[in-house]
Amino acid sequence: MIDSRTLVDDEKALVSRRIFIDNEIYEQELERIFARCWLYLGHESQVSNPGDFVSAYMGEDPVLVVRDSRGNVNAFLNTCRHRGMRVCRADQGNAAAFTCTYHGWTYGNDGKLVGVPGYKEYYYEELDMEQWGLVPVAQVSSYKGLIFGTFDANAPSLVEYLGDMAWYMDFLFDRTEEGVEILGGVHKWIIPCNWKFAADNFAGDNYHFGVTHISGLKVGFLRLGQAKTLQTTPGDGHGIIARLNPNVDERWPAEQWPEANAYMRTVEEEKERRLGSKVKDIDPGVGTVFPNFSLHSSPSIRVWHPRGPDKTEVWSWCFVDKTAPAGVKDAMRLNMLRTFSMGGIFEQDDGENWDRCTASTRGFVGRRYEFNYQLGLGHERRHEEFPGQVADGPTEMSQRGFYRRWAEIMRAED
Ligand code: FES
Ligand SMILES: [Fe+2]
């Protein structure tokens, strides 16, 4: 086992480059991070009827999330108990049962093995079907419509795991009575980068924006406006970047998005009624739930699936208020596509950095030199209104929290 203390120096805010490229560390991550933490699986709006299912991944394990005929949402390893074939190869749909396309074992939408070709003639009715159902994910739970799962039966509850992060998530997912829904299907793309470059950036990199995304800013594609950002670190590895004193006209300019502008004004009122007057002060816009679920007010949610130390498969969805008018949903979808999606202007900028950062870390000598996470070190503070720690201006406070948590979990025996 690798001792993560040698890889993350919390006091000096230095992180070994090895954690972004080393295969042995990656294997330990699959066991200690991805087989233990709560991971995002899908949204309740995707499985609202009995038999509805969506595909997901937990680390490199394919998972099937399905509402059974009795109405319970379960998650199972999406791998046949006979020889490992995926029992469901669609991204989403509705099914009473899943038949493996290799030898035909069939599982009910509650995961039970219900059909085996040749059960009588060739298995002589000796196969114990009770024992050979799909492997369930140990715990499945949802928060404001977002479904998460963990392979660890002893993991704390999802609400406990999210901690103060939930307070910030409510601004996006609980601002209206009906909550949000997923619009359309999933977008998937592969970036040749370590998954942590992406999760770290969304957790709190408010330092890169004016450099990485300068071309988009220069052509007026996005106006940063007057709003100041505040970085907040709710703890437990999660991170959020928020705008202070949010202004609908800056976020959704009326001349570009008239319908969305008008709608967001009414939502501000509803949000205030539901969440309190704090919504006037702060607007959480981008963040990461440790380890690999990120959110963005573009609006997009995404999972950075690990695919080896130097590859990430992004799964991204557009989410919208369920009760928003069709024109507003369309405006949100277009804004997301243009900014943060596989063809989005800012997504392209970011992905190229993470790709090159990973590639240059592969070198044998370069790998000996740590990354510097000292930006704003020691200048964190508590806020009387917002939970967690906060910092003004660009800081790497949340990334430090992310790697602190990463190291803790990597060295914890259970
Ligand atoms: S692998 Fe599924 S039935 Fe053989
Ligand atoms: Fe970016």
pTM of the entire structure?
0.97
Does the beta carbon of 83 lie inside 6 Å of ligand 1?
Answer: yes
Instruction: Provide, for the chain, the percentages of residues in helix, strand and coil under a 3-state DSSP scheme, each rounded to the nearest 5.
Output: 35, 30, 40
Residue 223: what pLDDT? 65
Q: What is the pLDDT of residues 81-91, one digit of tens each?
A: 999 999 999 99
The answer to whether the CB of 123 is under 6 A from ligand 1 is no
- Asked which of 166-170, 249-253, 405-409 is least confident by mean pLDDT, the reply is 249-253
221 close to ligand 1 (CB < 6 Angstrom): no
Q: Torsions phi, psi of 37, nearest 5?
A: -75, 160
Q: Residue 189's pLDDT is what?
A: 98
Establish whether residue 137 lines the binding site of ligand 1, counting it when its CB lies within 6 angstroms of any ligand atom: no
Mutate to test the pocket of ligand 1, among 88, 103, 119 (most ligand atoms within 8 A of CB): 103
Q: Of ligand 1's atoms, which has the minimum distance to the CA of residue 83?
A: 1
Catalytic residue among 200, 283, 310, 350: 350
Active site residue 205: yes
Whether ligand 1 lies within 6 angstroms of the CB of 85 is answered as yes
For the residues 364-388, what does the mean pLDDT come to?
Answer: 94
Instruction: Share the mean pLDDT of the chain.
Output: 95
**Average pLDDT for 250-278:** 93
Q: How far from 35 is each of 84, 109, 150, 312, CA to CA, in Å?
A: 19, 23, 7, 17
Atom 4 of ligand 1, nearest CA residue: 103
Q: Domains of the chain (ranges plus CATH)?
A: 4-36+164-411 (3.90.380.10), 39-142 (2.102.10.10)
Separate counts of helices (H) and strands (E) for the chain: 11, 22
> How far is it, in rounded angstroms, from Cα 331 to Cα 311?
32
Pocket flag, ligand 1, residue 331 (CB < 6 Å): no
Is the link from the previous residue into 291 a cis peptide, with omega within 30 of 0?
yes
Of all protein residues, whose CA lies closest to atom 1 belonging to ligand 1? Answer: 83
Catalytic residue check, 296: no
- Active-site residue, from 22, 164, 205, 283: 205
Q: Is 38 in the pocket of ligand 1 (CB under 6 A)?
A: no
196 sits in which H/E element: helix 195-204
pLDDT surpassing 90 at residue 247? no
Contacts (Cβ under 8 Å, ≥6 apart) of 330 = none
Q: How far is CA 273 from CA 165, 176, 260, in A?
A: 20, 9, 20
Query: Where does the pLDDT of residue 250 fall: very low under 50, low under 70, confident under 90, or very high at 90 and above?
Result: confident
Residue 285: nearest ligand to its CA? 2
* Cα 377 to middle of ligand 2, angstroms: 21
Looking at the CA of 88, name the nearest ligand.
1
